[in-house]
Amino acid sequence: MDPITRPQPINLPARKTRSVVGIALITIGLVVLLDRYLKTGWLALLILPGLGFLLLVGGIRYRRMNWVVPGGILSGIGLGGFFALSVILGSSMQYRIGILLLFFAIGWGIITLTSTQVSIRVAWWALIPASVTGSVGATLLFSPTRPVDFGLYLFTSLGLAFLGWGIADHLLGLIIPGCLLSTLGPGLYLAWGSTQEVNGLAQVGILVVSLGLGWGLITLFSRLHNERFLWWPLIPGGVCAMVGWGLYIGGNPDNAVSFIGNTGSIGLIIFGIYLLLWRKGIQH
C-alpha cells in the first residue's frame, strides 16, 4: 500500500478528549440559552457542577485520573456556589462561605472515592485539602468561630486524614502525625474551650496529657505497619503524661484526682485495645 494513502493510527485519548470537550461546550451553550429565555437567575449556576459531573463520568468511563481531579474540584465548587447563592437572603456571609467550603471539601472527597474505581493507587492525598477546607467550613457553620474551635476542627480532621492514609498505605511516617494531630485538636478544645475561668497551668497540663495519649496511639497503630509494636513512643508519651499531670495539679489541685482518673481510664482503654491486637496477632 502506498505510504501516502496508508490509514493513520487513531489517537484514542485525543478523540476521547475532543468528545468530552464537545459535549461540555454543547451543554454550556444550551444552559445559557435556556436561562436567557426562562430568566431563572439560578440555572447558570449549574454549569460548573454539570461540567464537574461530566468530567467525573468521563474519567470513570475512560479510567483517567486527570479528568477525575478537575471533575471533583468543579463539582464541589459548583454545588457549593449554587447552594451558597441560593439560600435565604437573610443568611449571613459567614454561613454562605461555610456552605461553599463544606461542598468544596466534599469535592476533594469525591476524588478519593472515585480513584478507587479508576486508578490502582487510591488518591488518599486528596483527603488533606478536604480536611482543611472542610474544617474551616464546619467552623463557620457550627461554632462561634473562636480560634480554639478552628483548632479543634482543623487539627482533628487533619489527624484523621493522615491516620487513614497511613493505615491504608502502611506508612508509619503518616501514622505518627495522624495520631498526634488527632489528640492535639481535642486537647486544645478541652483546655481553652470552656467559658469558665481556668488556671493557665491546668490548661497547659490538659494539652500536654492529650499529646501523651497521642504518643500512646502511635504504639497502638504501629502494629499495622510492623510485625511488632513500637514501644519507643511510650517514652515521650509517659513523659508528657507525668508533666501534664504535674502542671494540672499545680494549677487546679482540687480537681486533680478526677482529672488523673479520667485520663488514666483512657490510657487503660488504649492498653486494652493493644492486648486485643496482640492476641489477634495482626500483621500488615
| Grid cell digits, residue 211 | 499529646
Residue 43 sits in the same domain as residue 93: yes
Contact by Cβ (8 Å): 48, 1: no
Contact by Cβ (8 Å): 174, 221: no
| Grid cell digits, residue 200 | 493557665
Residue-wise pLDDT for 155-175, tens only, equals: 999 999 999 999 888 888 899
> How many domains does the chain divide into?
2
Residue 108 sits in the same domain as residue 173: no
Q: What are phi and psi of 69, to 5 degrees?
A: -60, -55
Q: Is residue 72 part of a domain?
A: yes
Residue 106 and residue 124: Cα distance in Å, rounded? Answer: 14
Helix 127-142 with 93-118: angle, nearest 10 deg: 150
Q: Is residue 10 part of a domain?
A: no
Residue 125 sits in the same domain as residue 230: no
Burial 247-271 (b: 16+ CB within 10 A, else e): bbbebbeeebeebbeebeeebeeee
**Which one of 108, 142, 176 terminates a domain?**
142
Residue 180 sits in the same domain as residue 235: yes
| Grid cell digits, residue 269 | 482503654
Q: Stretch 9-36: mean pLDDT, rounded? A: 61
**Which one of 87, 107, 142 terminates a domain?**
142
Residue 96 and residue 26: Cα distance in Å, rounded? Answer: 30
Residue 263 sits in the same domain as residue 202: yes
Q: Is residue 4 part of a domain?
A: no
Residue 120 and residue 123: Cα distance in Å, rounded? Answer: 9
Q: Is residue 33 part of a domain?
A: yes
Q: Is residue 147 part of a domain?
A: no
Residue 47 sits in the same domain as residue 137: yes
Residue 283 sits in the same domain as residue 174: yes
Helix 47-62 with 65-86: angle, nearest 10 deg: 160
Domain ranges, residue 279: 166-284
Q: Is the pLDDT of residue 45 over 90?
A: no
| Grid cell digits, residue 186 | 481535642
pLDDT band at 282 (very low <50, low <70, confident <90, very high): very low
Residue 123 sits in the same domain as residue 189: no
Residue 144 and residue 191: Cα distance in Å, rounded? Answer: 17
Residue 185 sits in the same domain as residue 245: yes
Residue 138 sits in the same domain as residue 175: no
Residue 66 and residue 56: Cα distance in Å, rounded? Answer: 10
Q: Is the pLDDT of residue 266 over 90?
A: no
Highest mean pLDDT among 27-41, 160-174, 232-246: 160-174
Residue 65 and residue 49: Cα distance in Å, rounded? Answer: 18
pLDDT band at 42 (very low <50, low <70, confident <90, very high): low
Residue 135 sits in the same domain as residue 208: no
Q: Is the dihedral of CA 56, 57, 63, 64 positive or negative?
A: negative
Residue of higher predicted confidence among 12 and 30: 30
Residue 137 sits in the same domain as residue 179: no
